[in-house]
Amino acid sequence: MATAPWWRGAVIYQIYPRSFLDTNGDGVGDLPGIIARLDHVASLGVDAIWVSPFFTSPMADYGYDIADFRDVDPLFGTLADFDRLLAEAHARGIRVMIDQVLSHSSDQHPWFTESRAGRDNPRADWYVWADPKPDGTPPNNWLSIFGGGAWTWEPRREQYYLHNFLSSQPQLNFHNPAVRTAMLDNLRFWLDRGVDGMRLDSINFCFHDAQLRDNPAKPAHLRVGRGFSADNPYAYQYHHYNNTQPENLALMEELRALFDRYPGATTLGEISSEDSLGTMAEYVTGKRLHMGYSFELLVEDRSAAYIRQTVENLESRMSDGWPCWALSNHDVQRAVTRWSDGTGGDAPTDDFARQLVALVCSLRGSVCLYQGEELGLPEADVPYEKLRDPYGIAFWPNFKGRDGCRTPMPWTGDADAGFSPVEPWLPVPDAHRARSVAAQDADPDSVLNAARRFLRWRSAQPVLVGGDIAFIDAPEPVLAFNRTLGDERVLVVFNLSGAAVSWPLPAGMTLRALDGHGLAAGAVDGGELRLPPHGVFFARID
């Protein structure tokens, strides 16, 4: 039997470099800081790291606004530091994925400087330019996710340019073949350096409707989406025309053809559309991306019914594709806070934090674990005066933005959290210092040590890494499913609440409990499975 590619079922640890470790005393993390903490990463037993953008950038969106796709921002180090990171990670058996932003650049990118200068330069058509309507207003009703209209006026051209995010993140024009070629060349630059894969930011935003048609209005009861504040007008539209255009599928195929020339290199597309699961299924097939992930488990609903419906919906539409799931990342409130049912009071329980790691690692797919998830960090409460995220500043106070999940890693319980000798770019909450790596390292029962045990145990269970998934009917708060690989079938059950529950087991199942995962485990009592608060149960079905 051919061995599965490394990324199928892999656990990918996401590093937000600004907040990992500061080694040069500027209050911001850097690439040498990641190198210095690779032993921590290795101790988790993960397969790969995904490093959020560290490229040259004015940092308006903290690196997701790139001014040079082929260089390291001096804030983070140098290309030589990156090469060293790659070598040091590989020496520890950790693969390295970088974050590539294809859809837009920074307004400081030389391409944009040239493009905005006039209508007849070689890059005039590299971004999305459009004339105003006769009354001077923007060409259509498209909106920016980060607030306000998606069009900004450029006096030099007497035209508007499109931006789906900040006005300093102009949208590249993928209808122009020269743009596609240039962006693929940028990817090749990093593949040639030896990266093992790429997380492809906002990958369904690459093309826009060439006719610039208006997006239709969305009724109030349907205005939900990726971490939107209820008052974000972006939620008031169906985004039929500003993203997820049919032309993008050919780009996914071009990307795959490029990656196929680098054995083992993988792609993970970030997808956020009107029907993200449908788009994931469409984008992730043999000839397109290797994996996709969306915001569908990064929302507020944490019911067993919602998790089941989300995974089943994707599974039923995906043919040969492979999903990737995440419960936390640098864009949303941390999961232990977002999904807390309040049973742990203000401080979410450690059992819950341990269970969430097990839950995301038990679904069919690969996993992104976000730095700090292994510590059970709750969302930080960053006061308005300290907010840095323009998205949060625009929508405060109903939506506080993304700073609360981006605060520095607490390495020690010291005043500086062992992160930086100077005041860090975002404050470290006291509650995080109390959950530092040093403190948890010393405690065998900590969330950190439980996560280490669980991840190692999981990687020795091929059925959990690569098996199929089928859900079993169970009332809230029980989430139950089977994973199957060849002749092996495993029952997986989670009690998603902070109170003990009993669940009558389906008739005719002969079970042999699997232990060694180290979590609060349920036990069979007659025909019932008794699960402690946030308990789990894994059993082989004979």
Q: Which residues would be at the binding site for ligand GLC (CB under 6 A)?
A: 61, 64, 101, 165, 201-202, 270, 330-331
Smallest distance from ligand GLC to CB 401, Å: 10
Determine whether 201 is an active site residue: yes
Q: Residue 354 — φ and ψ, nearest 5°?
A: -65, -40
Cβ contacts of 263 within 8 Å, gap of 6 or more: none
Shortest distance (Å) from residue 426 CB to ligand GLC: 15
What is the distance between the alpha carbons of residues 480 and 474, in angstroms, rounded to a whole number? 7
3-state secondary structure (DSSP) of residue 344: coil
Strand pairing category for 528-531 and 501-504: antiparallel
CB of residue 117 vs ligand GLC: minimum separation in angstroms? 24
Give 267's strand partners. Answer: 198
488 is catalytic: no
Out of 61, 73, 154, 270, which one is annotated catalytic? 270
Q: What's the closest the beta carbon of residue 370 comes to ligand GLC, in angstroms?
A: 11
What is the Cα–Cα distance from 412 to 237, expressed in whole angstroms?
45
Report d(CA 278, CA 466) in Å as an integer: 22
Q: Which residue is nearest to ligand GLC (CB)?
A: 64
Going by C-alpha positions, the residue among 436, 374, 335, 517 that lies closest to residue 49 is: 374
Nearer to ligand GLC, 272 or 362 (CB): 272
Q: How far apart are CA 279 and CA 295, in angstroms?
A: 12
Residue 507 CB-density burial (10 A; 0-12 exposed, 13-18 middle, 19+ buried): exposed
Q: Which of 73/331 has CB closer to ligand GLC?
A: 331
SS3 state at 130: strand
Q: How far is the CB of 202 from ligand GLC (least distance, A)?
A: 4
**DSSP-derived pairing of the beta strands 523-525 and 488-495:** unpaired
Q: Cβ closer to ligand GLC: 271 or 520? A: 271
Contact at 8 Å (CB) between 214 and 249? Answer: no
β pairing state of 511-513 and 536-541: antiparallel
Closest to ligand GLC by CB, 198 or 491: 198
Cβ-in-10-Å burial (0-12, 13-18, 19+) of 397 comes to exposed
**Cα 348 from Cα 415, distance rounded (Å):** 23
- Rounded to a whole number of angstroms, the minimum distance from the CB of residue 514 to ligand GLC is 35
CB burial string 509-534: b at 16+ within 10 A, e below: eebeebeebbbbbbeeeeeebbbbbb
**Looking at 16-94, which runs of residues are DSSP E strands?**
48-51, 55-56, 68-72
CB nearer ligand GLC, residue 330 or residue 458: 330
CB atoms inside a 10 Å sphere around CB 365? 26
Shortest approach of ligand GLC to residue 362 CB, angstroms?
A: 25
DSSP at 481 = E
Residue 103 or residue 355: which is nearer to ligand GLC going by CB? 103
Choose, from 65, 99, 107, 201, the residue flagged as catalytic. Answer: 201
**Comparison of 101 and 206: residue with beta carbon closer to ligand GLC:** 101
Residue number, 28 or 448, with CB nearest to ligand GLC = 28
Q: How far is the CB of 243 from ligand GLC (least distance, A)?
A: 11
What backbone phi and psi angles, to 5 degrees, belong to 91? -60, -25
- Please count the CA atoms within 13 angstroms of the CA of 232 that sit on its side-chain side: 26
Q: Which is nearer to ligand GLC, 201 or 351 (CB)?
A: 201
Q: 19 near 371, Cβ under 8 Å?
A: yes
Q: Which is nearer to ligand GLC, 330 or 534 (CB)?
A: 330
Q: Are strands 366-370 and 11-15 parallel, antiparallel or unpaired?
A: parallel
CB of 142 to ligand GLC, least distance (A): 15
DSSP secondary structure string for all residues of 265-329: -EEEEEE-STTHHHHHHHHSSTTS-SEEEESTTSSS---HHHHHHHHHHHHHH-SS-EEEEES--
**Smallest separation (angstroms) from ligand GLC to the CB of 268:** 12
Residues marked active site are found at 201, 270
